[in-house]
Structure 1
Amino acid sequence: MSDAPSQITEPARTGSSEFDRDTAVRTRESGVHEALLSPGWAIGKALNGGYLLAVLGRALRQALPHPDPFTITAHYLTATVAGPATIRTSMARSGRTVSTASAGLFQTDDRGREIERIRVLATYGDLGALRDDVRTSAKPPAMPPREQCFRATDHPDGDAAVPEMGRRLDLRLDPDTCGWALGAPSMRGEIRAWLELADGRAPDPLSLLMAVDALPPTGFDLGLTGWVPTVELTVHVRARPAPGPLRVAITTRNLAGGYLEEDAEVWDSADRLVAQSRQLARA
């Protein structure tokens, strides 16, 4: 296809937060959006799946009559790299309280061929219109205070061990779940951390799409080395988060056949469960 994105100029990338600039999209025409994907959210050469989901989530927000993602499922078809991208959205249904649409993220390769990188199906609504009625057995993860947790730069290898995306985050790892960094994984398949954006931007529903995939993979705590590419990721956004740091807990219970699942919970500063996710990843 010849519908390659034009270069996005700087005005489309303006904003007070690096996250907002790097997830910016511009509507070219109905159902067609342009993005300039930032290398600042890379893990190695490929871009982080949560960051990419936030870019798609922003395009869907522009395309739909409702502001907030309720549930969004992404299938990662090929690795996405920094640079121009086109996002195409298609409305499936628009109702009074929720609307549903699909989206695809495309890039053009060196031969001029358009390649679909990610396919998404999402339902949006208005989190602010939900009833304030919570009945839950879920509890926030037990973690030390932030000042007693490890920054990524506390790794024995220093900054050299921090992926590019880690420089955009203020990530504080629970010492009980980062023995893998010292060559002593617990083999429980658990990682917990405090999480904020490094520039202090307050969390919102779009940044929660990134937060569920922001921690080191649980495979590290099972003794694996190397990053774990996502095959499929489903996120449920349950509430708009209160300002302040998030607590993220991820677990895996089953690594088999070269694949593992990761379950994530994201809690806000008001002790409310604001997002949940499950992903299937290659080990």
Structure 2
Amino acid sequence: MGAEYDQHVAVTDLGNGGFAAELDEGWVVGGGVNGGYLLGVVGTALRAASPAKPDPLAVSAYYVSAAVPGPATVSTRVVREGRGSATLAAELRQGEQVRVTALATYGDLAGLPDDVRTTATRPPIPPLEECVPGSAAPEEVRKVARMMARFDMRFDPACVGWTVGAPSRRGELQAWFRLNDEREPDPVALLTVLDVLPPVTMDLGLMGWAPTLELTAHVRGAPAPGWLQVRHVTRNVAGGMFEEDCEVWDSAGRLVAQSRQLAMLPR
């Protein structure tokens, strides 16, 4: 049947750019279904709608209303088909309710020049065996964030003070990450990985679910097999909202995905 993640983001072609999906209850967190998982479902539908250009390069998604587990549909359309990339639009609905609307650029990462030049530095993190597993979270936390059972996450010990009421207040979280079944990362899965850590506001002492308003993702390369290193930071809380910047580094030490999202402060 394939890896659990692939089953959960699977879509069925309905024709005319439409796809059916079943949002799995295992991705619930707080008051709805995780936004990164929803982006994975949308990304899977867009990949099916653009077989010649199967990889997300940039996706900007607006979260219109909280999704719930159960049936959903994703409508897609090609805005422009270019030689090296395609501009696509998508809308995820449940009944009459729009949950996510997105605009994306897709291409073929394998066909892009391999000319990585960056001033970015991979942040230091202790080795896996020295990090704190998400499975060590209190039962009440795992009950609220059921999505934690969908992957293996090992937190940097320097970033877990919030779990015992002693947040660092630096506005930073980071962890090692791997999907269940040791499912290897790919460009579409990176869309989910960009939103799997707890809200970075927890490191500011602000606990609770933080609904995403908008998320823009950039996928910079196809990730190497193995564990991913994921880091979230925030620098500004204003107007009841905060930004959350994410970096994803692969096992080869490459920065393969970045995102910025605007979210509401925890209620």
Q: CA deviation at 1:198?
A: 2.2
- For each residue in 1:54-84, what CA deviation from the matched residue of structure 2 results, as whole angstroms up to 9, or x when unmatched? 0000000111231100000100000001100
Q: CA deviation at 1:131?
A: 1.0
Q: 1:252 aligns with which of 224, 227, 234?
A: 234
Partners of 1:133 and 1:193 lie apart in 2 by 28
Q: TM-score under structure 1 normalisation?
A: 0.91
Corresponding position: 1:118 with 2:105:
no
Please name the residue that 1:5 is paired with: none
Please name the residue that 1:3 is paired with: none
Contact 2:58 2:219 in 1 (8 A): yes
Contact 1:103 1:121 in 2 (8 A): yes
- For each residue in 1:228-270, what CA deviation from the matched residue of structure 2 results, as whole angstroms up to 9, or x when unmatched? 1100000000000000000001100001111000000000000
Q: CA deviation at 1:45?
A: 4.2
Corresponding position: 1:263 with 2:245:
yes
Corresponding position: 1:18 with 2:7:
no
Corresponding position: 1:44 with 2:44:
no
The 5 Å alignment of 1:162-181 reads 162=142, 163-181=145-163
Partners of 1:52 and 1:127 lie apart in 2 by 22
Q: Tell me, what secondary structure is at the counterpart of 2:163? A: helix
Contact 1:153 1:161 in 2 (8 A): no
Contact 2:152 2:178 in 1 (8 A): yes
Partners of 1:142 and 1:231 lie apart in 2 by 30
The 5 Å alignment of 1:164-243 reads 164-243=146-225
Corresponding position: 1:104 with 2:91:
yes
* Deviant stretches of 4+, over 2 Å: none
Partners of 2:33 and 2:22 lie apart in 1 by 12
Q: TM-score under structure 2 normalisation?
A: 0.96
Partners of 2:204 and 2:148 lie apart in 1 by 21
Q: Tell me, what secondary structure is at the counterpart of 2:62? A: strand
Letter in 1 for 2:87: T
Partners of 1:45 and 1:224 lie apart in 2 by 16
Q: 1:95 aligns with which of 82, 90, 102?
A: 82
**Residue identity (%):** 52
Letter in 2 for 1:170: D
Letter in 1 for 2:173: I
Letter in 1 for 2:104: A
Q: Which runs of 5+ in 1 are unaligned?
A: 1-14, 109-113
Contact 2:87 2:106 in 1 (8 A): yes
RMSD (Å) for aligned C-alpha atoms = 0.8
Corresponding position: 1:62 with 2:10:
no
Contact 1:141 1:247 in 2 (8 A): no
Please name the residue that 1:81 is paired with: 68
Q: How many residues in Structure 1 have an aligned counterpart in Structure 2? A: 262
Q: CA deviation at 1:44?
A: 2.9
